[in-house]
């Protein structure tokens, strides 16, 4: 498949079964994308000889190309492999647990991606740092991450051009730590985009783009009841259904305490 424009790559992790795919497809069909595009489904992790018809049934009604992918590479690696097989000017990548929550969602992402000086757009971002919050087994690897605040685009749903994608050092992660490095590390995707002098922006359901200093107030991830969220995923559903104490813990993992938020934004602390 060749596209001169935009390709939506949906990653379907087969060991989870067809149910998450059906949820994504239902949400995708219910909410207009708002921009012309083609769809590639990266079906990953099928066993040798396994029947793929349950996933094909879940995808019924959506015009797409099905790409069978090896299961040994984690999501970010599979995205890059899919881009090697499907040529497009721009890509939007969404993961297995993704769920569309707003009209025109893909058009909003694509419109802001086309703005001069923008290198990476996402449905959510975070200041979370594996350096500051690393559990003891990961502390020897903290040198690979900046301390809090560590602004990065979350890779559950993000978009970039082919030119930017192919310019990045993008290894194929096979372990969680390697995937975390690529998402939010010092040599991760967001960090490399910034090094090129390009902006990172989060786009909300309202169609507005938010720079890193305004990500928390964008109400897209672990704040403001996520009322401006355009794409849901497992982590945003966890926050939505969490008890108040757990919610506060998750919010502080992403944004820190009010004092640290003020420090990160160069403001006076509250009170």
pLDDT at 269: 44
CB 119 within 8 Å of CB 160: yes
Half-sphere exposure of 150 (CA within 13 A, CB side): 25
Integer Cα distance of 90 and 188 in angstroms: 19
Q: Are strands 157-161 and 125-126 parallel, antiparallel or unpaired?
A: unpaired
Tell me the pLDDT tens digit for each residue of 186-237.
Answer: 999 999 999 999 999 999 999 999 999 999 999 999 999 999 999 999 999 9
Helix axes 244-255, 234-241, angle to 10 degrees: 140
Tokens of 127: 């200041």
Regarding the domain delimited by 6-265, which CATH topology (the fold level of the hierarchy) does it fall under? Spore Coat Polysaccharide Biosynthesis Protein SpsA; Chain A (3.90.550)
The better pLDDT of the pair 58, 71 is held by: 58
Tell me the pLDDT tens digit for each residue of 115-165.
Answer: 999 999 999 999 998 866 555 555 556 788 898 999 999 999 999 999 999
SS3 85: helix
**Domain locations in the chain?**
6-265
């Amino acid at each position: 498949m060749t596209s001169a424009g935009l390709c939506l790559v949906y990653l379907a992790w087969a060991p989870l079964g067809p149910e998450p795919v059906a949820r994504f497809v239902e949400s995708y069909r219910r909410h207009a994308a708002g921009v012309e595009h083609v769809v590639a489904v990266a079906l990953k992790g099928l066993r040798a000889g396994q029947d793929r018809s349950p996933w094909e049934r879940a995808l019924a009604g959506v015009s797409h190309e099905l790409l069978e992918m090896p299961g040994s590479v984690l999501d970010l690696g599979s995205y890059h492999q899919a881009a090697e097989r499907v040529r497009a000017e721009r890509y939007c990548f969404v993961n297995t647990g993704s769920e569309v929550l707003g009209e025109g969602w893909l058009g909003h992402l694509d419109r802001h991606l086309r703005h001069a000086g923008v290198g990476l757009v996402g449905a959510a971002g975070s200041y979370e740092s594996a350096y500051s919050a690393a559990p003891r087994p990961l502390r020897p690897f903290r040198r690979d991450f900046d301390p809090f605040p560590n602004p990065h685009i979350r890779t559950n749903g993000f978009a970039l051009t082919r030119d930017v994608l192919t310019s990045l050092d993008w290894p194929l992660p096979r372990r969680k730590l390697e995937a975390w490095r690529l998402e939010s590390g010092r040599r991760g995707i967001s960090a490399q985009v910034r090094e090129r002098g390009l902006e990172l922006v989060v786009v909300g359901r309202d169609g507005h783009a938010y720079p890193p200093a305004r990500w928390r107030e964008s109400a897209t991830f672990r704040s403001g009841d996520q009322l401006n969220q355009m794409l849901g995923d497992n982590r945003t559903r966890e926050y939505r259904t969490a008890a108040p104490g757990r919610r506060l813990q998750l919010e502080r993992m992403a944004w820190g305490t009010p004092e640290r938020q003020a420090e990160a934004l160069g403001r006076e602390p509250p009170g």
